[in-house]
């Protein structure tokens, strides 16, 4: 499932693909990716890209003449670039560029979203305004992290993936950040010390930067897809030895999602 690093790479790809091209044609099937937004507005889109921004896991694309759209990849959404006439499975929306290449928005499970809106209104959309500070853009250090999450009574991992508190982390990178910071995902967010918040901020940056460095291909692959190697330190490694201390990694359910952690490196109580 795409999280901040994958969305950031998708944003960079779109910015690059659209840098010296204009949109000559836009198409989209009437699928639920539009979620009640005006699909015809997307289909009318033409011209040059002015900006490709990201807030958390949401991309905002602004085009000339105050056109634009929000793109959220949901669980299985991807933007891919293909030559003219190349059929692409699960293509739900397409931008044909002036050189004939086609940018497909593909989404097998249709949890992603495209919301057309004027370029100057994208930042004001409720789903964007409601986001917490962005893990990369907003220089989230220890005190900033504590301000965002420290008031929460829920377990640390659950607070970390609440996009209204902190934008960008999902199930994978929350687990990775907590492992790097040696903090238990089960501890209440409210109970951390200033030093632990600082450690967590460092862990988050390291986890996100690591993932950003992993992508080499233009086509992004998500770790849940069959045949994709798992590059992560703790995510998806239940029963396998912790890469730091060799203790078996544990998996628990939190808020309906699997959480992975090392019971030795990430103790449930603060160490004295």
Which residues are at the interface with Zn ion (CB under 5 A)?
242, 244-245, 247, 262, 264-265
* Shortest distance in whole angstroms from residue 85 CB to Zn ion: 52
> Distance of CA 177 to CAs 88, 260, 270, Å?
35, 11, 17
Closer residue to Zn ion in complex, CB, 209/240:
240
Catalytic one of 39, 55, 57, 81? 57
* Shortest distance in whole angstroms from residue 262 CB to Zn ion: 3
Catalytic one of 41, 48, 198, 257? 257
Catalytic one of 2, 5, 155, 185? 2
Look up 27 and say whether it is catalytic.
no
Look up 218 and say whether it is catalytic.
no
Closer residue to Zn ion in complex, CB, 19/248:
248
Closer residue to Zn ion in complex, CB, 114/200:
200
Look up 116 and say whether it is catalytic.
no
* Shortest distance in whole angstroms from residue 156 CB to Zn ion: 17
Closer residue to Zn ion in complex, CB, 231/263:
263
* Shortest distance in whole angstroms from residue 119 CB to Zn ion: 47
Look up 57 and say whether it is catalytic.
yes
Question: Which of 32, 1, 68 minimizes the C-alpha distance to 220?
Answer: 1
Q: Which residues are catalytic?
A: 2-3, 57, 257
């Amino acid at each position: 499932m795409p999280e901040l690093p994958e969305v950031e790479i998708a944003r960079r790809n779109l910015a690059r693909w659209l840098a010296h091209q204009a949109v000559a044609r836009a198409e989209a099937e009437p699928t639920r990716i539009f979620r009640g937004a005006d699909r015809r507005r997307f289909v009318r889109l033409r011209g040059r890209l002015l900006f490709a921004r990201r807030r958390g896991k949401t991309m905002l694309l602004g085009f000339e003449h105050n056109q634009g759209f929000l793109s959220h990849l949901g669980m299985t959404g991807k933007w891919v670039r293909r030559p003219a006439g190349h059929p692409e499975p699960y293509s739900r929306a397409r931008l044909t560029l002036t050189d004939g290449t086609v940018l497909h928005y593909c989404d097998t499970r249709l949890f992603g979203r495209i919301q057309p809106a004027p370029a100057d209104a994208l930042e004001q959309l409720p789903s964007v305004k409601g986001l917490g500070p962005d893990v990369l853009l907003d220089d989230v250090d220890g005190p900033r992290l504590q301000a965002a999450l420290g008031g929460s009574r829920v377990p640390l991992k659950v607070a970390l993936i609440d996009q209204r508190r902190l934008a960008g982390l999902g199930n994978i990178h929350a687990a990775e950040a907590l492992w790097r910071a040696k903090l238990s995902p089960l501890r209440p967010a409210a109970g951390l010390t200033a030093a632990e918040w600082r450690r967590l901020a460092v862990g988050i940056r390291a986890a996100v930067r690591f993932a950003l460095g992993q992508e080499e291909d233009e086509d992004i692959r998500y770790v849940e897809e069959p045949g994709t190697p798992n590059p992560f330190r703790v995510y998806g490694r239940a029963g396998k030895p912790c890469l730091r201390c060799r203790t078996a990694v544990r998996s628990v359910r939190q808020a309906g999602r699997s959480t992975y952690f090392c019971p030795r490196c990430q103790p449930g109580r603060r160490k004295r």
